[in-house]
Structure 1
Amino acid sequence: MADSATANRNKTTKPDKFNLHPVAKKILRQLLIFLISLALVLGSIALAVQTVYNKFIKPVDPEDDTLITVEVPMGTSINGIAEILYENNLIRNTAAFKLMVDLSNKSNKMQAGKYELSKSMTIQEIINELMTGQVSVSTVLVTIREGDDIRTIASRLVDEYNMNFTEEQFIAEARRVEKYMDDYPFLRNIPEERRESEFPMEGYLFPDTYYFYADSTPERIIRTMLGEFDAKFTQEMRDLADEQGMTMDEVVTLASIIQNEAKTEEFSKVSAVFHNRLKIGMNLESCATINYVIEDREVNQITLTIEDTKIDSQYNTYKNPGLPLGPISSPGLDALNAALNPYPEFMEPNEPMLFFVLMDPETGLHAFNSTYEGHVKDKQKYQVNWQ
């Protein structure tokens, strides 16, 4: 009996290797919770990545090797190429294709031509094919910059891209607005008064990156850019313009001023200032409109002289009320949207902003004010940066 009792006593007092200290148990429990949570998060990320891949990047049909003949016409932008591929069911998503092109830095290597592609091809394989198409005539990758006017476009096409015509020939063709109205009815929005002006189609040659044949004519290039404008200025935008009581030409004109006055992040704020001024009949006083008519095209002045503001021109918004005669450049999509969607916090029922002044040419950002007195103080504060 004594031996049995001793054995039982020894059994109960023997240390248990799993009998952890309470603090250690708490730490172990927290560690297990963390590891389980981490596994769940990583699993969620993996699932999200797989979902994105399946929805946007994965080949349309990995098992279908049937060849589909696709033609990329001359002058087609990257956006246009993406649309062609999507319409032929060769990619799942146009944005994913454009992102892959940007990431691979091959947008300037793709060529117009005919291609045989299949639904089983990856986006990268399609991009590689687009770099080696059947091309009978050499092509030129041309970038029309946002904010370029027709004179600048003509100059760059000849001087930078060596197109097979002169600046004068391109400008002369760009004046023939009546010729293009049947094919591009939106040009009928251009007021009669401007159809006889020097640059009636200013603002409508849409800025983008295009592929042109080296021997493209001014007409072919103009038609391509007009077609791109027609595609970009959507029906929704046209309806919004109608709701706001603006014609398409007024939207393009305002957008062109916004484009040349500010950086993209401030487009809607500058738009609000101009909308507020137009509403109360206050002159726009846009430096960009003066620079458009200054004879020295090499100078884009930050500050204007008194003589500059007195220039006798229908584009002088210091001298004339309302919008100028027409656009002063080719606005991009962001500027067009800003013209239609001014920054609401700068407008009624909030205190409407009526002034803005450049703070620093290096950043391109502005200070905004609702009063002239505040505007004068801003000018005095920041003009030292303009030298």
Structure 2
Amino acid sequence: MRRLGCLGLIAALLLFAAGVWVAQGWKGAGPLSRPTHVTVADGSSLAGAARALERAGVIASAQRFRLQARVFGDGAPIRAGEYAIPAHASAAQVLALLQSGKVVQRLVVIPEGLPAVMVRDVLDRADALTGPVDTPAEGSVLPDGYAFERGETRAAVLARMQRAMRDYLAAAWARRKPGAVVTSPEQALVLASIVEKETGKPAERRMVAAVYSNRLRLGMPLQADPTVIYPITKGRPLGRRIRQSELRAKNGYNTYASAGLPVGPIANPGRLSIDAVLDPAATRALYFVADGSGGHVFAETLEQHNANVQRWYAVRRARGEM
């Protein structure tokens, strides 16, 4: 009887010790000394996640973490993804984070007016993305910031960018004003890409759109410099002045050599430029030139425009640019 009592006591002590070992650190500070990121791969079990956490120094023991999760957790599944683990996170906090699915969101930003070749550059430089991607069709991407997770494919992110453009263009076309000169969403995209490249001032976009709309109605050449540059560089900076031979070149894009719209977009226009060509300002202006402050001055007649050009030349001479 005495021996049985001793064995019972030993068993009780061992059970208590095991309980202490399992409970130790569940809600107390963990061993991680500085914040880190841990990735839980698709299809990972709790055991696999625990091993990854142990390797990263987030928890002291993968085995203990699994037991703790079973004893103290609520049974909710963990979710795959990249997680930002704060320093000294407790096992309870870590499990809750993995169950929440609040993964690290990374951002790739496409500025307004970026050409397709440079959209591909941005995607290629995003190291957390995977896989190859083709250069998208010009004008098919809506400029914006796009969140993604580590390991997502470049093609998948590009598809979201293109879906966003299709959705926005369709919505904008549905609310177009009667004064819009373009007759299809595709034409709107082409004209918006020119407006996007001609002015960086949001307040000017409807005026620039109106100038080009007025020229289209009258059959005048648009004479937009960015359309001359596009077939030369595919939208990348030219880095020099446009040559006279380039102004005369007929290639489907050059709006000095031919009247009407180019054969396609010359950049990826943003929302404001798309809206501008579908609701241009009410003006008879046919010309504009830089005003020296980053904006433009507009004119209805060639005489007014020539005077504005001379004022712009005077500004450039004063700056030593001519």
What TM-score, normalized to structure 2?
0.61
Match of 1:355 in 2: 287
Sort the Cα spacing of 1:160 and 1:382 in 2 relative to 1 into closer, same or farther, 3 A. farther
Deviation of 1:234 (Å)? 4.7
Match of 1:220 in 2: 156
Match of 1:370 in 2: 300
Contact 1:164/1:216, CA 8 A, preserved across alignment: yes
Deviation of 1:256 (Å)? 0.8
Please state if 1:274 is matched with 2:215: no
SS of residue matched to 2:249: coil
Sort the Cα spacing of 1:144 and 1:296 in 2 relative to 1 into closer, same or farther, 3 A. closer
Please state if 1:150 is matched with 2:116: yes
Match of 2:196 in 1: 259
Match of 1:383 in 2: 313
Q: Spell out, residue by residue over 1:279-326, the C-alpha distance to the aligned partner (whole angstroms, 9 max, x if none).
A: 000000001112222339653569533122123321111111100011
Alignment partners' CA distance in 1, 2:173 and 2:235: 32
Alignment partners' CA distance in 2, 1:280 and 1:269: 17
Alignment partners' CA distance in 2, 1:341 and 1:364: 23
Contact 1:273/1:353, CA 8 A, preserved across alignment: yes
Contact 1:291/1:301, CA 8 A, preserved across alignment: no
Sort the Cα spacing of 1:156 and 1:309 in 2 relative to 1 into closer, same or farther, 3 A. same
Alignment partners' CA distance in 2, 1:270 and 1:343: 8
Deviation of 1:327 (Å)? 0.9
SS of residue matched to 1:226: helix
Please state if 1:287 is matched with 2:225: yes
Contact 1:241/1:251, CA 8 A, preserved across alignment: no
Deviation of 1:152 (Å)? 0.8
Deviation of 1:364 (Å)? 2.1
Amino acid corresponding to residue 376 of structure 1 in structure 2? N
SS of residue matched to 1:294: helix
State which of 124, 129, 134 in structure 2 corresponds to 1:170. Answer: 134
Q: Spell out, residue by residue over 1:337-372, the C-alpha distance to the aligned partner (whole angstroms, 9 max, x if none).
A: 10111111x1xxxxx111101122xx3200111122
State which of 310, 317, 332 in structure 1 corresponds to 2:270. Answer: 332
SS of residue matched to 2:233: coil
1:93-172 correspondence runs (5 A): 133-135=101-103, 139-159=105-125, 163-165=129-131, 169-171=133-135
Match of 1:237 in 2: 173
Amino acid corresponding to residue 209 of structure 1 in structure 2? G
Contact 2:117/2:235, CA 8 A, preserved across alignment: no
Sort the Cα spacing of 1:297 and 1:226 in 2 relative to 1 into closer, same or farther, 3 A. closer
Match of 2:65 in 1: none
Contact 1:359/1:383, CA 8 A, preserved across alignment: no
Contact 1:170/1:218, CA 8 A, preserved across alignment: no
Match of 2:68 in 1: none
Deviation of 1:239 (Å)? 5.0
Alignment partners' CA distance in 2, 1:325 and 1:250: 9
Deviation of 1:218 (Å)? 3.7
Sort the Cα spacing of 1:303 and 1:375 in 2 relative to 1 into closer, same or farther, 3 A. farther
4+ runs deviating over 4 angstroms: 241-245, 300-303
Structure 1: give runs of 5+ residues left out of the alignment: 1-111, 115-128, 175-200, 347-351
Deviation of 1:373 (Å)? 2.2
Alignment partners' CA distance in 2, 1:144 and 1:310: 32
State which of 231, 239, 246 in structure 1 corresponds to 2:183. Answer: 246
- Matched pairs, number: 221
Alignment partners' CA distance in 1, 2:290 and 2:255: 18
Please state if 1:204 is matched with 2:140: yes
Deviation of 1:219 (Å)? 2.7
Amino acid corresponding to residue 123 of structure 2 in structure 1? L
Deviation of 1:384 (Å)? 4.5
Alignment partners' CA distance in 2, 1:246 and 1:283: 18
SS of residue matched to 1:233: helix
SS of residue matched to 1:249: helix
Greater Cα shift, 243-252 or 301-310: 301-310
